[in-house]
């Protein structure tokens, strides 16, 4: 199918993923202009090999690359496009808003409306501050935790990614509680040393970290459902234990729901698991595909933020009208009866078909799923933390990725990322994806 005739209900074309001359040419140009030829590292295909596709357009659940090939898409701009690509109501809202101006450097009514909607939907949020990215949100939440407690150290979990702020880019060590060392050049060891990394889903390790450092720990930040080592859910009772430990030691509990917010449940992961965090970081879905982030939480903490309080944080384009408009349409659509339920059910359908295929082929790989996020792990052991995920056969995943791409299915170009379903995916998409997966698994595992 040609790139200018999108049909979100069609199956993948037989020649998808082949003949990528225009993408190759663009990538060659890009590498002379941008580090690695990309503006975000995972787009470079380093995790799977080969050159990245350059995308010309998207509609519904499908993408078209610059060479005219069509793909069923399970990246969705890495999560934000929960309604699908180019949703007509989102696009109309952006156009309508842009006609009145793209940015004012002053408050606008849309900021108030989106703040009201976020507070209505997220149980742990009583006040919210809009920012421009998930990294800004987590960075600001850490600063706020330190401001509220007068402490310096933060606990994070090995394999959890919270953006590229210095104090979170650390190499996780082994043992119950390891002080981080820099995981990237340019991060001072003294900054990284304020972060304590412990294994996810390990209560004893967290308890040990607090026994050793409790009086110095300002907060604990975690993805309640991990999405940055692939989808890894919390073990039963784990989040409850984290909440109890942080409360006992007077540390703030920060849920990074940049990825999980409005995707694993309409009211976010904190509602799914019944946990009341002190601070919540949001992004992706709340911008409807435009750059956005937010952090919020209990009023007593958020009133520490300037200009209400002494903790300074600012942003020239924070609360940008275009992002606010897109986010409002997206969240309002998700609130409509049956929309989120249908999204979750369609994800269930695909994951069930993948698991059936694995059983038929006698493959003991793992499929983890929560809500509208899922990952096929190429390992024979259940994945509960980074050590489990690290046993995956990344080379085989890379072969599977390219085999799926050849069959017109666009998966995440890394074993250690989450795939995303959208409300635009159809039963035909799911069936075509399942057929492609069966063929691809036979090809790479036969």
Active-site residue list = 161, 256, 284
- Cα separation of 309 and 77, whole Å? 35
188 to 182, 203, 430: CA distances (angstroms): 7, 29, 47
- Cα separation of 326 and 385, whole Å? 34
Instruction: Tell me 56's DSSP state.
Output: E
Task: Identify whether the C-beta of residue 388 lies closer than 8 Å to the C-beta of residue 381.
Answer: yes
Task: Identify whether the C-beta of residue 376 lies closer than 8 Å to the C-beta of residue 367.
Answer: yes
H or E element in which residue 325 lies: helix 321-335
Q: Which two tokens stand for residue 413?
A: 């170009």
Task: Identify whether the C-beta of residue 173 lies closer than 8 Å to the C-beta of residue 197.
Answer: yes
Q: Which two tokens stand for residue 415?
A: 């074993």
- Cα separation of 425 and 423, whole Å? 6
Task: Identify whether the C-beta of residue 59 lies closer than 8 Å to the C-beta of residue 8.
Answer: yes
| Closest C-alpha among 299, 297, 325, 282 to residue 135 | 282
Neighbours of 299 (CB within 10 A): 11
In this structure, the strands spanning 366-370 and 373-377 are: antiparallel
């Amino acid at each position: 199918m040609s790139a200018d005739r999108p049909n979100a209900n069609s199956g993948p074309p037989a020649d998808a993923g082949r003949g990528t001359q225009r993408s190759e040419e663009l990538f060659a140009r890009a590498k002379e202009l941008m580090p690695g030829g990309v503006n975000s590292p995972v787009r470079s295909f380093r995790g799977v090999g080969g050159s990245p596709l350059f995308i010309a357009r998207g509609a519904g659940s499908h993408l078209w690359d610059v060479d005219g090939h069509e793909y069923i898409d399970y990246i969705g701009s890495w999560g934000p496009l929960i309604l699908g690509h180019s949703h007509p109501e989102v696009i109309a809202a952006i156009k309508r808003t842009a006609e009145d101006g793209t940015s004012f450097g002053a408050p606008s009514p849309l900021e108030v409306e989106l703040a009201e909607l976020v507070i209505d939907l997220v149980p742990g949020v009583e006040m919210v501050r809009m920012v421009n990215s998930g990294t800004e949100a987590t960075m600001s939440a850490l600063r706020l935790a330190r401001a509220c407690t007068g402490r310096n150290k933060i606990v994070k979990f090995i394999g959890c990614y919270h953006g590229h702020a210095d104090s979170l880019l650390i190499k996780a060590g082994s043992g119950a509680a390891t002080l981080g060392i820099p995981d990237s050049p340019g991060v001072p060891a003294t900054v990284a040393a304020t972060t304590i990394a412990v294994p996810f889903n390990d209560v004893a390790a967290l308890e040990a970290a607090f026994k050793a450092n409790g009086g110095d720990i300002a907060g604990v930040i975690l993805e309640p459902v991990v999405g940055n080592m692939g989808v890894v859910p919390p073990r039963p009772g784990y989040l409850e234990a984290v909440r109890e430990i942080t409360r006992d030691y007077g540390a703030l509990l920060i849920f990074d729901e940049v990825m999980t917010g409005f995707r694993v449940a309409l009211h976010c992961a904190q509602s799914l698991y019944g946990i009341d965090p002190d601070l919540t970081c949001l992004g992706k879905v709340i911008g409807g595909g435009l750059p956005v982030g937010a952090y919020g939480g209990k009023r007593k903490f958020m009133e520490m933020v300037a200009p209400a309080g002494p903790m300074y944080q600012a942003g020239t384009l924070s609360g940008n009208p275009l992002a606010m408009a897109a986010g409002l349409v997206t969240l309002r659509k998700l609130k409509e009866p049956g929309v989120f339920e249908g999204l979750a059910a369609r994800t269930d359908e695909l994951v069930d078909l993948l698991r059936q295929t694995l059983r038929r082929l006698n493959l003991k790989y793992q499929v983890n799923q929560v809500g509208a996020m899922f990952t096929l792990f190429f390992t024979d052991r259940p994945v509960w933390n980074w050590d489990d995920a690290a046993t995956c056969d990344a080379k085989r995943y890379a072969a599977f990725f390219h085999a799926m791409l050849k069959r017109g299915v666009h998966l995440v170009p890394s074993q250690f990322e989450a795939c995303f379903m959208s409300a635009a995916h159809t039963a035909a998409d799911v069936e075509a994806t399942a057929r492609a997966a069966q063929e691809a698994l036979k090809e790479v595992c036969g």
